[in-house]
């Protein structure tokens, strides 16, 4: 696997086109449930359905998001051929910028590797959360924490 492969960056999505959120997620607990369901689908090899499950909450261009889903499906087929099937997933981090942005980070685990998935949501008017970024990377450096 390549050491660092972001799929979609927040900046790229924000400039890719107009927002088309059909729905918004009302709270951060809803974000956790939706991203957890996404990870369950990815674990079973259903990459495109995983992307489709978050599509109604898009606050960015659907075209760029759909293309990224196709690229992720192709990439993860290669990962599965090399590293095997995933053996689990853990939610490892939740970060916020005031009441405006929230990011969930999940670790998808394989026998010999791991991939960090990051989901970024934005709440422009304080009324609901919209997905503005999904990325994945094998660079896990920032996930490490000091323990006593």
Average pLDDT of the residues in 93-104: 96
The predicted pLDDT at position 136 comes to: 95
pTM (whole model) above 0.95: no
pLDDT exceeds cutoff 80 at 108: yes
Residue 2: name the closest of 59, 61, 71 by CA.
Answer: 71
The residue extents of the domains of the chain are 10-139
What does the mean pLDDT of the chain come to? Answer: 87
CATH of 10-139, one of 3.10.450.590, 1.10.3210.50, 1.10.287.1080, 2.30.30.60: 3.10.450.590
pLDDT in tens, 122-143: 999 888 999 999 999 999 999 9
pLDDT in tens, 56-84: 999 999 999 999 999 999 999 999 999 99
Q: Residue 8 — very low, low, confident or very high, per pLDDT cuts 50/70/90?
A: very low
Backbone φ, ψ for residue 136 (5° rounding): -140, 155
Q: Which residues of 46-72 are buried (b: 16+ CB within 10 A; e: fewer)?
A: ebeebbebbbebbbbbbebbeebbeeb
**Distance from CA of residue 27 to its chain's centroid?**
17
Average pLDDT of the residues in 92-116: 96
- Residue found under tokens 């008017």: 125
pLDDT exceeds cutoff 80 at 14: no
The predicted pLDDT at position 126 comes to: 80
The strand ranges marked E within the chain are 88-97, 101-109, 114-122, 130-137
The predicted pLDDT at position 69 comes to: 96
Q: What tokens does 69 get?
A: 């889903």
């Amino acid at each position: 696997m390549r050491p660092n492969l972001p799929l979609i960056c927040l900046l790229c999505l924000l400039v890719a086109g107009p927002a088309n959120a059909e729905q918004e997620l009302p709270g951060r607990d809803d974000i956790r449930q939706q991203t957890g369901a996404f990870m369950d689908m990815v674990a079973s090899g259903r990459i495109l359905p995983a992307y489709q499950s978050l599509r109604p909450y898009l606050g960015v261009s659907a075209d760029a998001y759909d293309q990224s889903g196709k690229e992720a499906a192709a990439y993860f087929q290669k990962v599965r051929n090399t590293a095997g099937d995933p053996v689990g997933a853990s939610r490892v981090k939740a970060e916020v910028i005031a009441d405006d942005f929230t990011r969930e980070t999940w670790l998808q685990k394989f026998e010999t590797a791991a991939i960090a998935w990051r989901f970024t949501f934005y709440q422009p008017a304080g009324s609901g959360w919209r997905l503005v970024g999904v990325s994945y990377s094998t660079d896990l450096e920032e996930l490490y924490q000091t323990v006593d």
